[in-house]
Chain A
Amino acid sequence: MKQPWGRRKDAVMVEKDTDLQKIRELIEIMKANDLLEVEIKHGDDRIFLKRCQPQPQQVGVPMVGPQLTSPTGLSSTGVSAPLGQPRAPRQEENLVEIKSPIVGTFYATPSPDSGPYVEVGSRVTPQTIVCVIEAMKVMNEIKAETGGTIVEVPVTNGQAVEYGQVLFRVRPD
């Protein structure tokens, strides 16, 4: 399924082929590194690219955009899923949000080389450390303070977060 791209209203208009090629390269870099936003300023010129969050597969919901179908009639996007697949987390109600209690930089992993504290699908208890937020050179361990399963992580490693920003969404037990 094609992923839609966002553009800010005041972004610079591209006029030349070379600019278009640079943008294509930027897009590839963003995809490869799982970046959500990129902004480049050069003098008075400015380019801002933003990726929307990829939507998970949904059974029974009409697909948007062109679809390629193979001769066998299966949609190229289709991984045939059994009926009764759970709906996308965004549409789920009663999710508990873990919000940032401070201002700082979000880190999903204890150190650059290790795996994340938690990820989508992880079970947490109120005492589980879910991430670290660095503020003024101090690493603050953030506890879940709720029990359940992580269904969404709307922030990325190294992202600046403000007070009250949603870090995780949890489906409570």
Chain B
Amino acid sequence: MFSRILIANRGEIALRIIRACHELGVEAVAVYSEADKDAPYLRLADEAICIGPPDCAESYLNIPRIISAAEISDVEAIHPGYGFLAENVHFAQICKDCGITFIGPPVEAMQLLGDKVQARKLARQVKVPVVDGSEGTIENESEALKLANQIGYPVIIKAAGGGGGRGMRVVHNDISLRSAFSAAHAEAEAAFGDGRVYLEKYILEPRHVEVQVLADNEGNALHFFERDCSIQRRHQKMIEESPCPALDKQTREELCEAALRMIKEANYVNAATVEFLLDKDKKFYFIEVNARIQVEHPITEMVTGHDLIKWQLKIASGHTIRISQKNIRRTGVAMECRINAEDPANNFSPCPGTITEYLPPGGPGVRVDTHVHQGWTVSTKYDSMIAKVIVHQKTRTEAIATMKRALREFVVEPIKTTIPACLDILSHNLFVKNKVDTGFVERNF
């Protein structure tokens, strides 16, 4: 096991990683920008190093400063968290060149899976179903038009170089395809420095289902079942749950096996999430692999009883997976609500500001992952998520009841948060009856 690592991230995930480190006897070095200098989790770190001004490019995305911090604090490894540099091939390569272990996949696997077009090719190789679409990237409008008419509208244009909803456009006809093609290309270029786009059939009212996987450097891989993340707004997840309530035993097995095939074929090491779409006929299609730990990892931890961050540290330090798939069991239902500093009544516009009253929920079955506290100032510089409320109960009905109870207890003043929006969703008939898809939120709220 490592004796000391650096966490190249901030906020709740930095705190999460510090906690896992301390339980394993690993020293944690935190880095921070001047905007985060008063964050209490920095005091929990064994060392905290200021790496720059508030701007991300000058701090959390600044590779030379992060590597320098790693060097002066003499760490063996870096955990990149999620977002920021977590899927940055260049950063992973530099870590390797500097003799620092990157807690995540090898550079080659990250590169392969980071290219969404290559990932689709890989999926076909291992007989994992993919959405009907372009073989490679689409070079120009006429190619896009031809293919779109071949597959049949609606289609979706996506960025090859990245995900997270950027560079995506749903198109219903030839006219809108023209403008969407150039818009998606420009957005992809801006977001990922890679303007390449590809095309897929747009599946109507799909569910978003993803599988958590873990692989070691001897080719052993395990899955930790699936999560349903259909409750999204503008491609940003709001509520996640495990297990996916729409899956039967057979489909679940096939889905998880397909995820493992992808991971093994890519020679992947460490934690990843394989994302699929589930159509109305319960057929699943591979979408992409997220080569990092994800925001919603806690719900998998609750249902399986496994600490995924500790697993990441163990695998990165050379441990192999000694348990078999049948040892991974799931119990009950877990749900997570992401609480953002946004005003649902005002088109979810961001609400930065100082939190003067903060009372998080508690009690049986409730877990709150957050870095926020009373007196915390929500900055405009970073994403607006302030807390994750996670519940775990025996049944879905009880989980919903506990989540509603927890959210009603949760006090965050005076800034506006998405708590009311989550409560509305949790109370909605279709959500309760489990008749949702990725368009549910935008259609009904």
Contacts and interface: CB of A to CB of B under 8 A. Distances in A.
Nearest to B97: A136
Contacts of B73: 160
A162 B98 contact: no
Contact of A103 (B34, B53, B72): B72
Given A103-B69, A136-B71, A136-B98, A163 B64 contact: no
A162 B67 contact: no
A4 B64 CA distance: 38
B67 A136 contact: yes
B233 interface: no
Given A136-B98, A162-B50, A102 B34 contact: no
A161 B71 CA distance: 11
Contacts, number: 42
Interface string A139-163: 0000000000000000000001111
A103 B49 CA distance: 8
A136 B50 contact: no
Nearest to A104: B68
Interface of B: 34, 49-53, 59, 64-65, 67-69, 71-73, 98
B76 to A, nearest CB: 16
A26 interface: no
A112 B166 CA distance: 51
Contacts of A165: 50
19 contacts: A102-B65, A103-B49, A103-B50, A103-B68, A103-B72, A104-B68, A135-B64, A135-B65, A135-B67, A135-B68, A136-B64, A136-B67, A136-B71, A136-B98, A160-B72, A163-B51, A163-B53, A163-B59, A164-B34
A102 B72 CA distance: 12
A105 B70 CA distance: 12
Interface of A: 102-105, 135-136, 160-165
Contacts of A105: 72
B72 A163 contact: no
B69 A162 contact: yes
B156 to A, nearest CB: 41
Nearest to B59: A163
Nearest to A133: B68
A103 B98 contact: no
Contacts of A102: 64-65, 68
A163 B60 CA distance: 12
A165 B59 CA distance: 15
Contact of A162 (B49, B53, B64, B71): B49
A161 B34 CA distance: 15
Identify the interface centre among A103, A105, A160, A162: most chain B CB within 10 Å of its CB.
A103
A164 B68 CA distance: 14
B47 to A, nearest CB: 9
B72 A104 contact: yes
Contacts of B59: 163
A135 B67 CA distance: 8
Nearest to B34: A164
A10 to B, nearest CB: 12
Contacts of A164: 34, 50
A104 B67 CA distance: 9
A33 B429 CA distance: 74
A162 B47 CA distance: 11
Contacts of A160: 72-73
Contacts of A162: 49-51, 69
Nearest to B65: A103
Contacts of B51: 103, 162-163
A136 B52 CA distance: 16
A104 to B, nearest CB: 5
A135 B62 CA distance: 13
The 8 closest A-B pairs by CB, nearest first: A160-B72, A103-B68, A135-B68, A162-B50, A162-B49, A163-B50, A103-B69, A103-B65
B318 to A, nearest CB: 24
A163 B50 CA distance: 5
Nearest to A105: B72
Given A104-B71, A163-B49, 12 more contacts: A102-B64, A103-B50, A103-B51, A103-B65, A103-B69, A104-B68, A135-B64, A135-B68, A135-B71, A162-B49, A162-B69, A163-B34
Contacts of B34: 163-164
B66 to A, nearest CB: 8
Nearest to A160: B72
A108 to B, nearest CB: 16
Contacts of A136: 64, 67-68, 71, 98
B2 to A, nearest CB: 16
